[in-house]
Amino acid sequence: RKEVEQDPGPFNVPEGATVAFNCTYSNSASQSFFWYRQDCRKEPKLLMSVYSSGNEDGRFTAQLNRASQYISLLIRDSKLSDSATYLCVVNSNSGYALNFGKGTSLLVTP
């Protein structure tokens, strides 16, 4: 079983839509959780860290459910510029390495 699993999509949504991505992780000892964004042929960039209490950054809301080992990302009022691959990331057993999901592809259309 892969350490981090995501629905690969693609998700095709119109501008202004709300879209949610989900992710599950297998290592219950994981301590740090992130969403990274990756544009085509570019490096991953940190979108936001995910905290147990849930956190929001503008149009983006991340939630963590440790009991279910489940992480989510909600994007409200989608923009064309949100089109990218969203990577769910969990730190490893050692706490040093990052384990990435395969990524979920989002395409926002006019």
Partner 1 sequence: DAGVTQSPTHLIKTRGQHVTLRCSPISGHKSVSWYQQVLGQGPQFIFQYYEKEERGRGNFPDRFSARQFPNYSSELNVNALLLGDSALYLCASSSWDPRETQYFGPGTRLLVL
Give the length of the chain.
110
Q: How far apart are CA 7 and CA 9, in angstroms?
A: 6
Select the residue interacting with partner 1 from 55, 69, 72, 99 (CB under 8 A): 99
Shortest CB 8 distance to partner 1, Å: 8
Number of residues that bind partner 1 (CB under 8 A): 23
Distance between alpha carbon 79 and the CA centroid of its chain, in Å? 17
Which lies closer to partner 1 via its Cβ, residue 46 or residue 80? 46
Q: Is 28 in the site for partner 1 (CB under 8 A)?
A: no
* 3-state SS assignment for residue 59: coil
- Partners of residue 63 on adjacent β-strands: 72
Shortest CB 46 distance to partner 1, Å: 6
| Pairing relationship of beta strands 33-38 and 44-49 according to DSSP bridges | antiparallel
Q: Is 1 in the site for partner 1 (CB under 8 A)?
A: no
Binding site for partner 1 (CB under 8 A): 4, 31-32, 34, 42-46, 49, 87, 91-92, 94-103
